[in-house]
Structure 1
Amino acid sequence: MSVRRLADDQVQPAKFAFNRDFAAQAKVWVSKYPKGREQSAVIPLLMLAQEQDGWVTKTAIEHVADMLRMPYIRALEVATFYTQFQLKPIGTRAHIQVCGTTPCMLRGSEALMDVCRSKIHAEPQHLNEAGTLSWEEVECQGACVNAPMVMIFKDAYEDLTPERLAYIIDRFEAGRPQDIEPGPQIDRVFSAPAGGLTSLKEEPKPAAKTKAAAGAAAKSPAPTQAGKPKREGESETLGTSRPVTPTDQKDEANAQSKTGKAAASRSAGAKAPAAVSDPARPAARKPAAAETVASVAGPATPATAGLSDRSRPAGIDRPAAPDDLKLISGVGPKLEGTLNSLGIYTFKQVAGWKKAERDWVDGYLNFKGRIDRDDWVRQAKALAKGGPEEYFKVFGKKPR
Structure 2
Amino acid sequence: MSNVRLGRLRRVALDVAPLQTASYRRLWMAESVSAIGVQLTAVAVAIQVFDLTGSSLWVGALGAVGFVPLVVLGLWGGSVADAVDRRRLILVAATCGWVCTLGLLVNELTGLHSLTLLLLLVAVQSGAFAVSQPALNAVIPRLLEPRLVPAANTLAFTTFNAATVVGPLFASFLLHIGGYGVAYGGDALLFTAMLYAVVRLPPIEPTGHTSSPGLRSVLDGLQFIGTRPVLLLSFVIDIIAMVFAMPRAMFPQAAAEWFGGKQYAGWLYAAIALGAVLGGLSSGWIGRVRRQGLALVAAVVGWGLAVAAAGLARTLWLAVVLLAVAGAADLVSAVYRQTLLQVYAPDEMRGRMQGVFTVVVAGGPRLGDLRAGASVAGFGLAGAWVGGGLVCAVLVVVLVALAPALRRYTAVQRDTVTP
Instruction: Report which of the two structures shows the higher radius of gyration computed on alpha carbons.
Output: 1
Greater share of strand residues, 1 or 2?
1
Task: Give the structure-1-normalised TM-score.
Answer: 0.19
Task: Give the structure-2-normalised TM-score.
Answer: 0.18
Greater share of helix residues, 1 or 2?
2
